Amino acid sequence: MRVLLLEDDMALNDLLSDHLEDKGYDVTLCTNGQEALEYLIDEKFDFALLDINTPIMTGIEVLKTIREDYKNSTPVIILTAYQDTKHLKDSFENGVDDYIKKPFDLEELDQRIMKLCRQFSIEQNSNIQIDEKLFFEPDSCLILLDNKSVSIAQKERDILKYFCNHRNRVVSSEELLQNIWAYEDMPTDATIRVYIKNLREIIGKDRIKTIRGIGYKFE
């Protein structure tokens, strides 16, 4: 599922985006309201998380604009540090679907998202389509190619999932280590190369490109 996240606090932005990506969401990050508005106008998202207090346009202004000017019905959850009822009232008057006050637990956010998915019949399918004939099922560690399933190791699954969440971006071996392995379990670069070699044999050698001296790029 595609989710747009508008949050100008970079620490919280990183925390939320990492959490959502770990849950299998395709996350588009925005740090100002104008950027978020342009994405919501031009692209299709399953839902959006909008902070209120953001540069250029507030989250409520973004919400009001998409609802009134563009008749955009993308489900929206407002995130805010405001504790007053005025912002709550403004949000619901402008068409918000849910509202969560900071600070909040990630588990609470997950429950709000699940409620939204049930309310709007949003398919919570964690399967990832890589191309027309190639699908990836992270939960079951399976790659589906031409209707045939191939089992992969858990770490191969974790690497491929990370690549899918960061498609068309160069990812270093160090980044993979930091995001996939616990410190005490970190493997050698040679082990990572073996995992990637195994993935290439299944999904195609050209899909994971080696950027010499830097890392890998998944296309």
Show which of 86, 119, 152 is a domain's final residue.
119
- Same domain for 160 and 54, yes or no, is no
Report, as an integer, the average pLDDT of 51-55. Answer: 96
How many structural domains compose the chain?
2
Q: Say which range, 23-37, 54-68, 177-191, has the weakest mean pLDDT.
A: 177-191
- Same domain for 132 and 73, yes or no, is no
- Same domain for 104 and 153, yes or no, is no
- Same domain for 136 and 206, yes or no, is yes
Burial of 9 (0-12, 13-18, 19+ CB in 10 A): middle
Residues 148-176: pLDDT tens digits? 889 999 899 989 988 988 888 899 988 88
Show which of 67, 95, 119 is a domain's final residue.
119
- Same domain for 88 and 193, yes or no, is no
Task: Please report the pLDDT score of residue 123 as a whole number.
Answer: 64
CATH of the domain at 35: 3.40.50.2300
CA dist., res. 166 & res. 217, Å (int): 9
Q: Say which range, 44-53, 136-145, 199-208, has the weakest mean pLDDT.
A: 136-145
- Same domain for 21 and 79, yes or no, is yes
CATH of the domain at 143: 1.10.10.10
State which residues form the domain around 194: 128-218
**Percentage of the chain with pLDDT > 70?**
98
- Same domain for 45 and 113, yes or no, is yes
Mean pLDDT of the residues in the chain: 90
Residues 174-183: pLDDT tens digits? 888 888 887 7
Report, as an integer, the average pLDDT of 131-137. Answer: 86
Measured in whole angstroms, the distance separating CA 176 from the mean position of its chain's CA atoms is 17
- Same domain for 108 and 21, yes or no, is yes
- Same domain for 112 and 11, yes or no, is yes
32, two tokens:
């100002």
- Same domain for 83 and 178, yes or no, is no
Task: Please report the pLDDT score of residue 47 as a whole number.
Answer: 95
Angle at 154 between CA 148 and CA 159, to 5 degrees: 90
- Same domain for 111 and 139, yes or no, is no
- Torsion (CA) 186, 189, 194, 197 in degrees, nearest 10: 130
Reported confidence tier of residue 216, pLDDT bands at 50, 70, 90:
very high
Reported confidence tier of residue 88, pLDDT bands at 50, 70, 90:
very high
The pTM score is 0.60
Task: Please report the pLDDT score of residue 67 as a whole number.
Answer: 94
Task: Please report the pLDDT score of residue 125 as a whole number.
Answer: 54
